[in-house]
Amino acid sequence: MLYDDSMLGFHFVLTPEDARRTEQKAFDLGVPSLLLMEHAAIAVVDELEKTLGGCSGRRVLFLCGTGNNGGDGLAAARLFQMRGGFAEVWLSGGPKTPDANTQLKWAQALGIEITNLREACGDDFPLEYCDTPKKCYDAYVDAVLGTGFRGVPDEITERMIMAPRHDREIPIKGEKPVIAVDIPSGIDGKTGNTPGAFMYADVTVTFNAPKPGLYLTQEREAVGKIVIADIGLWHMMPWNSDALLLDEPELKCEMLTPKALRLMEKRQLNAHKGDCGRVLIYAGKEGMAGAAAMCAKAAVTAGAGLVTVACEKEILPILQTLVPNAMCMEIAQAVKRSPAYDVFAVGCGLGQEETIWQNILALWNPEKKSVWDADALNLLAKHGMKLGSNAVMTPHPGEAARLLNKPTEEILSDRIHAARELAQRYGCTAVLKSDVSVLCSIEEEGPAFMLNTVGTPALAKGGSGDALTGILSALLPYDLPLYSAATACLWHGLAGLSGEKKYGQRELTTDQLISCLWDAERNAVTE
């Protein structure tokens, strides 16, 4: 039931609304909705069986809401019992859709124990009913609220959501695991916000395509492992057929997979260093030479043919020692006569004096591709100007807040909107960095987004952003800025995962991260 994506370098990301419209187009073609529900239930039970090591003799509580998400749960309960398990169902109320009602009758006919909590308890729903489950369950299936839910769950729904937490010690995961159907209940499918109670899942089985809220939520631990399951629409999805193509999608968004690294530009046999990209880096000052060094070293390692660092005179000897493959020159000399370059990278450990801004303007050519990071963004926030379609900016949430003059909390609450606003205000490709980075560029037909979901907390260390700037600078000559940036984020994240395995999550340094770029590329190509 998993996607056959052995050669696929990307997934489309569908908002709940786009997913609903895609399914409706399938229904209009004659695809039975009940059939898709059965396929969804099979995917859930397959994952449940895998997680438990079998269904026979296992007891599972299925928590089901009143919509089609609850219908998926009811169907999964029936299929689980047919595989030899013992299923029990709690309903938050009577089914409100025809398919969910059909699944309820089918489960009742099989003799599954079903309790409609709203009917059984009314408004006087006792807290202890969910706080102390009547039986010992081996696992839970969360089918209470679907991807389209917005707002705060009501009291009965909240207590159903919290029930698994009272039956196992959180945050110990894997003990009495929770399998979420499409999305953990209470998490907004589009933004990932959690204004009220939310489920804490070990595995989330999401259907047809990933939903942005699964990755953008600040409660990433609550999502668990994400399994993307085909429920019968795979060969009809937009990337295989025009049958379900939406004329005006709510969100035009893609997500690269590790296999995308196979598509990186291959060098011709007669290539020389001038063919492989000339990068000019303006970075570093006394006390922050390491930032410039990490950026330059990453650019060299990621394949840039010629790297030149323009910097203050005081740190020239340091940089030539740390990055012998890069050329160095005093910033005053570079301003008078700029070296030829294909990509201009600026900002790492640079400082924010006004003279630095004047140097940036002297070196920057809007007709050439450029990467703006760190202190260059802080200076940009003060001066404000369009960077143009050749530019890529890479702010973290704090820098984005300064660029948009908004609180950081507002940036984090809707990263898709923030990335779009950055791209529109500054006229460039925006990479809003975080545990999941949101990328946006404004195209003729509207904003285009990409998500990078590959990474590790090992990258939460000073220097990681400098390395990303260097990697992006090396890749930028070969593709559109949005796809170059997405590939750079992916490669950076995969190198982090490789480094975490080799050196440890706490111990990984930026030098070691850069040394793992080859491991990341090799593994992506040979998988």
**Contact criterion met (CB below 8 Å) for 30 and 72:** no
Task: Tell me the longest C-alpha to C-alpha distance in the chain.
Answer: 84
Tokens of 480: 């559109």
Q: Which amino acid is at 516?
A: C
Rg of the chain over all Cα atoms, to the nearest angstrom: 26
Q: Distance between CA 65 and CA 93 in Å, rounded?
A: 7
Q: What is the mean pLDDT of residues 426-451?
A: 95
Q: Is residue 6 part of a domain?
A: no
pLDDT band at 275 (very low <50, low <70, confident <90, very high): confident
What residues contact residue 128 under an 8 Å CB cut-off, 6+ apart? none
What residues contact residue 137 under an 8 Å CB cut-off, 6+ apart? 59, 60, 61, 88, 167, 176
Beta bridge partners of 467: none
Angle at 16 between CA 114 and CA 420, to 5 degrees: 150
Q: Is residue 5 part of a domain?
A: no
pLDDT band at 5 (very low <50, low <70, confident <90, very high): very low
3-state secondary structure of 172: coil
**Contact criterion met (CB below 8 Å) for 63 and 139:** no
For the chain, what is the mean pLDDT?
90
Q: Is residue 1 part of a domain?
A: no
Q: Are residues 236 and 279 in the same domain?
A: no
Q: Which among 225, 244, 263 is the end of a domain?
A: 244
**Contact criterion met (CB below 8 Å) for 496 and 514:** no
Q: What is the CATH number of the domain that holds 381?
A: 3.40.1190.20
Q: What is the pLDDT of residue 122?
A: 61
125: pLDDT strictly greater than 80: no
Q: Is residue 169 part of a domain?
A: yes
Q: Is residue 251 part of a domain?
A: no
Q: What is the mean pLDDT of residues 19-23?
A: 88
Q: Are residues 229 and 358 in the same domain?
A: no
CA terminus-to-terminus distance, the chain: 20
Q: Distance between CA 158 and CA 214 in Å, rounded?
A: 19
Q: Are residues 212 and 69 in the same domain?
A: yes
Q: Distance between CA 306 and CA 327 in Å, rounded?
A: 8
Question: What percent of the residues of the chain are helix, what percent strand, and what percent coil, each to the nearest 5?
Answer: 45, 15, 40
Q: What is the mean pLDDT of residues 471-491?
A: 95
Q: Which among 244, 260, 291 is the end of a domain?
A: 244
Listing DSSP states for 187-241 in one string gives: S-TTT---SS-----SEEEEESS--HHHHH-S-GGGT-EEEEE--S-GGGSTTT-
Query: Tokens 């409100």 sit at which residue?
Result: 96
Q: Tell me the HSE value of 293 on the side-chain side, using a 13 A CA sphere.
A: 19
- Interaxial angle between packed helices 464-475 and 481-503, expressed in degrees from 0 to 180 and rounded to the nearest 10: 130
Q: What is the CATH number of the domain that holds 193?
A: 3.40.50.10260
Q: Are residues 206 and 334 in the same domain?
A: no
Residue 308: enclosing H or E segment and its boundaries? strand 306-311
Query: Tokens 């090396």 sit at which residue?
Result: 474
Q: What is the pLDDT of residue 406?
A: 96
Tokens of 490: 């992916």
Q: Are residues 433 and 394 in the same domain?
A: yes
Q: Distance between CA 319 and CA 193 in Å, rounded?
A: 44
Q: What is the pLDDT of residue 506?
A: 96
Q: What is the pLDDT of residue 264?
A: 80
**Contact criterion met (CB below 8 Å) for 145 and 153:** yes
3-state secondary structure of 76: helix
Host domain of residue 124: 12-244
Q: Distance between CA 132 and CA 504 in Å, rounded?
A: 40
Q: Is residue 4 part of a domain?
A: no
User: What are the Cα distances from residue 310, in Å, to 282, 344, 393, 459?
Assistant: 5, 11, 19, 26
442: pLDDT strictly greater than 90: yes
Q: What is the pLDDT of residue 234?
A: 64
Q: What is the pLDDT of residue 6?
A: 44
Per residue in 82-110, pLDDT (tens digit) is 999 999 999 999 999 999 999 999 999 99
**Contact criterion met (CB below 8 Å) for 66 and 91:** yes
Query: Tokens 């997405």 sit at which residue?
Result: 486
Q: Which among 209, 244, 279 is the end of a domain?
A: 244
Residue 497: enclosing H or E segment and its boundaries? helix 481-503
Residue 348: exposure state from Cβ atoms within 10 A (0-12, 13-18, ≥19): buried
Q: Are residues 224 and 301 in the same domain?
A: no
Q: Are residues 130 and 189 in the same domain?
A: yes
Q: Is residue 494 part of a domain?
A: yes
User: What are the Cα distances from residue 468, in Å, to 370, 441, 513?
Assistant: 13, 18, 10
Least confident residue range of 125-134, 172-181, 229-238 = 125-134
Query: Tell me, what DSSP letter sits at residue 339?
Result: P
Q: Are residues 208 and 122 in the same domain?
A: yes
Q: What is the mean pLDDT of residues 327-340?
A: 95
Per residue in 280-292, pLDDT (tens digit) is 999 999 999 999 9
Q: What is the pLDDT of residue 8?
A: 59
Q: Is residue 249 part of a domain?
A: no
Q: Are residues 35 and 115 in the same domain?
A: yes
Q: Tell me the HSE value of 121 on the side-chain side, using a 13 A CA sphere.
A: 21
Beta strand extents in 65-127 (DSSP E only): 86-91, 113-116
Q: Which amino acid is at 261?
A: L
Q: Distance between CA 413 and CA 519 in Å, rounded?
A: 35
Q: What is the pLDDT of residue 340?
A: 94
Q: Distance between CA 89 and CA 360 in Å, rounded?
A: 64
**Contact criterion met (CB below 8 Å) for 347 and 283:** yes
Q: What is the pLDDT of residue 62?
A: 97
Q: What is the pLDDT of residue 489?
A: 97
Q: Are residues 277 and 136 in the same domain?
A: no
Domain count, the chain: 2
Q: Within a 10 A sphere around the Cβ of 361, how many other Cβ atoms?
A: 12
Q: Are residues 341 and 396 in the same domain?
A: yes
Query: Tokens 């984090």 sit at which residue?
Result: 412
pLDDT band at 259 (very low <50, low <70, confident <90, very high): confident
Per residue in 338-383, pLDDT (tens digit) is 999 999 999 999 999 999 999 999 999 999 999 999 999 999 999 9
Per residue in 178-208, pLDDT (tens digit) is 999 999 999 999 999 999 999 999 999 999 8
Beta bridge partners of 87: 60
Q: Are residues 20 and 79 in the same domain?
A: yes
